[in-house]
Amino acid sequence: MSTVIKVEGLSVSFATPRGELKAVRDVSIELQEGESLGVVGESGSGKTVLSRSIMGLLPSTATRTGKITFQGEVISELPKDKVRDLWGTGMAMVFQDPMTALNPVRRIGDQLTESLTVRLGMSKKDAKVRAIELLERVRIPDPKSMMRKFPYQLSGGMRQRIMIAIAVSCKPEMLFADEPTTALDVTVQAQVLELISELRKEFNMAMILVTHDLGVVAGHTDKIAVMYAGDVVEYAPTRELFSNMKMPYTEALLKSIPRLETPTGTRLPVIEGRLPDPTKNEPGCPFANRCAYVTDKCRAEKPPLTDGGNGHFYRCWFPIGGAK
Amino acid sequence: MAGTGKAHMRPDGDVILTVEDLTVEFKLGKDKIVKAVSGISFDLIRGETLAVVGESGCGKSTLGKAILQLPKPTSGSVNFLSQELTTLPKKELRDARPAMQMIFQDSISSLDPRLPVSEVIAEPLRVWNKGNQVEIDAKIDELLNAVNLDPAEVRDRRSYEFSGGQCQRISIARSLTLDPTMIICDEPVSALDVSVQAQILNLLQDMKDRYGLSLIFISHDLAVVKAVSTRVMVMYLGKVCEVAPPDELYRNTKHHYTKALVGSVPIPDPDRPIQAGLIQGEPPSPLDPPSGCRFRTRCPAATEKCAAEEPQLREVAVGHFVACHHPIA
């Protein structure tokens, strides 16, 4: 297996009127061919900025530092148009809101064949045949008539299937899925997640799945990075993470998920408080004010990313179950 | 069902709301009719939280709005606190409104961005000419404290300065201003992060206990309603599938659609993957719903009988009702 993407010491900040906003702080991740990583965190944790910055989709107000290597080539220093050449064939993204990600005034067929003709140089006729195959592959009923439709004529689940078909149309090595099912019903969510996993295996794509729901990543990823206030606070293989959780934050996030087993009338455990202000650089662990196990040391000094063995990293002075 | 029937009604309880044979249809173009809600009956007992669960397009939001006569339903009756709302003249309907409030899914856009929080909460009192300024101020502080916001800090700020979770707290405070009897919560937590979801669900429980409310809780997520509801009604394409107390519903699922909903809930455990194959595709169009049982086109147990005959709600265990010809054993 070869390394598809390697991110080293990636930091992203935005210039805002209130000062420099640090969205991603010194993040390092690595993905092998066909491997999938779940990036989990609350709104404002930096998970979306992380995936967009790897793809080179940041606005001009952003400053990025760190090294990104894609298929052996350092892309973090490449000019924008060279990074752009990788979109579609090298890396592709499925966005959260398929209504705004699709062009509302163009037919599905045109949007689907565009990447095939532009990126792969297919003739219009071949592209159309391939597009219909792709629609069949993502289980769209009656794909021929779908080619003539506009996005507004489709349900959210159908639009997301189209987005997925477009994203995989040029067989990218790396797929980013940013909250792909958050806007969907649970039944459709289950179908779409299943579809993404199937296609990932079929095309041997590496994938980064961004979500706020630990339930979504549990069954669909090989490893998980939990983000908090721009930091990766826990990074481990999926099974290892769930069986041997180290970070109090991850534990709190897991406990706050409503479950079918919850007896009626029970109070759900919550994480009190809020994320720290990302424009301020306060000392100590960013989670200290909300942590159930906080001590003076946590407030004074920020814990480093610690290697706990078994590929399990965490950022905590007093990990659950003790340090190694 | 997804069918019809009234076996699950409880005429002997302390019923505050009775909905019977409620139908909501929208005209679409010349001769197309969207059948959003097709003959739904249920009741709500004082102090109860009824969860209405189903996929997008099943008519759950339309049902919530039709109860409030927004707009008036096409047919059927809505009896709230012994008043028949569907035939009530405009003036009396307006007088009945303070007792029934609504909380919406998108909390940020349901608050007026130009009003300070204090005015958002006070507006209902001004509309109804209730209380002098001192009393209104006291009420604002009481409600903000109740929803765990610091009045001194938030009173003069506007909705766009708040997060989704905080806006939902403000919405809840506003819905309580006129001391309602019943609040209809339309997906109040589905736009929120999981960590904030739990806070709002707990808050709704607290408010219910503190102010003696009855709630109708509309959601697409069975796991969310589990903790807060006393009774769950599963809807599919404008019809009722199954009605039961939540524990009974999950332990002893009878309807194939409910089973699919239960199986689709993502569980944070890598050894228990989501069951995606339970039902395929998406609901058929409400313009032309299937004959008989409306779920039959996606149901693994469908037979000819399901196409010919609409199942009626019947009791399968105490307080557990299902509308299915072939319920799960």
The parent domain of residue B317 ranges over: 1-81+182-187+212-329
Q: Which residue has the tokens 């080539």?
A: A73
Q: Which residues of B touch A194 (CB under 8 A)?
A: 274, 276-277
Q: What is the ipTM of this complex?
A: 0.82
CB contact under 8 A, A186 and B227: no
Q: How confident is the model at residue A186 (pLDDT cuts 50, 70, 90)?
A: confident
Q: Which residues of A touch B201 (CB under 8 A)?
A: 258, 268
Q: Which residues of A touch B223 (CB under 8 A)?
A: 257-260, 262
* Domains of chain A, earliest start first: 3-90+170-314 (3.40.50.300)
Amino acid at A296: D
Nearest CA in chain B to A194: B276
According to the per-residue pLDDT averaged within each range, which of A182-196, A269-283, B34-48 is highest? B34-48
Pick from B274, B279, B280 the residue to mutate for testing the A interface (most A CBs within 10 Å).
B274
Distances (CA, A) of B159 to B18, B114, B163: 35, 8, 8
What confidence score (pLDDT) does residue B276 get?
A: 66
Is residue B98 one of the residues assigned to a domain? no
Alpha helix (H) ranges present in B14-163?
60-67, 90-96, 117-127, 133-146, 151-154
Q: How confident is the model at residue A29 (pLDDT cuts 50, 70, 90)?
A: very high
What confidence score (pLDDT) does residue B1 get?
A: 42
Lowest mean pLDDT among A38-42, A230-234, B5-9: B5-9
CB contact under 8 A, A186 and B221: yes
Q: How confident is the model at residue B35 (pLDDT cuts 50, 70, 90)?
A: very high
Give the containing element (helix H, strand E) for A101: helix A98-101
A200 near A168, Cβ under 8 Å? no
Is residue B263 one of the residues assigned to a domain? yes
CB contact under 8 A, A187 and B265: no
CB contact under 8 A, B274 and A242: no
What confidence score (pLDDT) does residue A324 get?
A: 58
Average pLDDT, chain A: 92
CB contact under 8 A, A218 and B270: yes
What confidence score (pLDDT) does residue B2 get?
A: 56
Pick from B154, B192, B195, B259 the residue to mutate for testing the A interface (most A CBs within 10 Å).
B195
Is residue B248 one of the residues assigned to a domain? yes
Q: Which of B287, B233, B314 is nearest to B67 (CA)?
A: B233
pLDDT digit string (tens) for A278-303? 888 889 999 999 998 999 999 999 99
Q: How confident is the model at residue B136 (pLDDT cuts 50, 70, 90)?
A: very high
Chain pair A-B, CB pairs under 8 angstroms: 145
| C-alpha torsion angle, residues B182, B186, B188, B194 (rounded to 10) | 130
pLDDT digit string (tens) for B296-318? 999 999 999 999 999 999 999 99
How many domains in chain B?
A: 1
Listing from the earlier edge strand, what are the strands of the sheet with A231-237? Answer: A91-94, A174-178, A206-211, A36-40, A223-228, A231-237, A313-314, A306-307
Q: Which residues of A touch B261 (CB under 8 A)?
A: 186-187
What confidence score (pLDDT) does residue A34 get?
A: 93
- Picking from B55, B230, B274, the nearest residue to A264 by CB comes out as B230
- Picking from B247, B266, B268, the nearest residue to A264 by CB comes out as B247
- Picking from A187, A219, A257, the nearest residue to B194 by CB comes out as A257
Nearest CA in chain A to B229: A264
pLDDT digit string (tens) for B140-179? 999 999 999 999 989 999 998 888 889 999 999 999 999 9
- Picking from A238, A260, A265, the nearest residue to B222 by CB comes out as A260
Is residue B17 one of the residues assigned to a domain? yes
CB contact under 8 A, B269 and A218: yes
Residues in chain A: 324
**Would you call A276 an interface residue with chain B, using a CB distance cutoff of 8 Å?**
no
Lowest mean pLDDT among A217-231, A308-322, B270-284: B270-284
Is residue B174 one of the residues assigned to a domain? no
Which CATH number goes with the domain that contains B295? 3.40.50.300
Mean per-residue pLDDT, B126-141: 94
> How far is the C-alpha of B173 from the C-alpha of B292, rounded, in Å?
44
- Picking from A155, A187, A262, the nearest residue to B279 by CB comes out as A187
What confidence score (pLDDT) does residue A201 get?
A: 93
What confidence score (pLDDT) does residue B3 get?
A: 60
Mean per-residue pLDDT, B274-289: 79
Residues in chain B: 329
Is residue B147 one of the residues assigned to a domain? no
B220, HSE (Cβ side, Cα atoms, 13 Å):
18
pLDDT digit string (tens) for A58-102? 988 899 999 999 999 999 999 989 999 999 999 999 988 877 889
Nearest CA in chain B to A189: B264
CB contact under 8 A, B193 and A242: no
Mean per-residue pLDDT, A25-49: 93
Q: How confident is the model at residue A172 (pLDDT cuts 50, 70, 90)?
A: very high
Q: Which residues of B touch A227 (CB under 8 A)?
A: none
- Picking from A155, A239, A254, the nearest residue to B282 by CB comes out as A155
Q: What percent of chain B has pLDDT over 70?
A: 97
Is residue B20 one of the residues assigned to a domain? yes
Residue B278 Cα, gap to closest chain A Cα (Å): 9
What confidence score (pLDDT) does residue A168 get?
A: 94
- Picking from B198, B250, B279, the nearest residue to A258 by CB comes out as B198
Residue B69 Cα, gap to closest chain A Cα (Å): 26
pTM here is 0.88
A54 near A46, Cβ under 8 Å? no
Who has greater pLDDT, B49 or B190? B49
Is residue B259 one of the residues assigned to a domain? yes
Q: Which residues of A touch B250 (CB under 8 A)?
A: 260
- Output the CA torsion sign for A190, A192, A198, A204: negative
Is the pLDDT at A273 greater than 90? The verdict is no
B116 near B158, Cβ under 8 Å? yes
Mean per-residue pLDDT, B200-224: 93
CB contact under 8 A, A188 and B198: no
What is the distance between the terminal CA atoms of chain A, rounded to a whole angstrom? 29
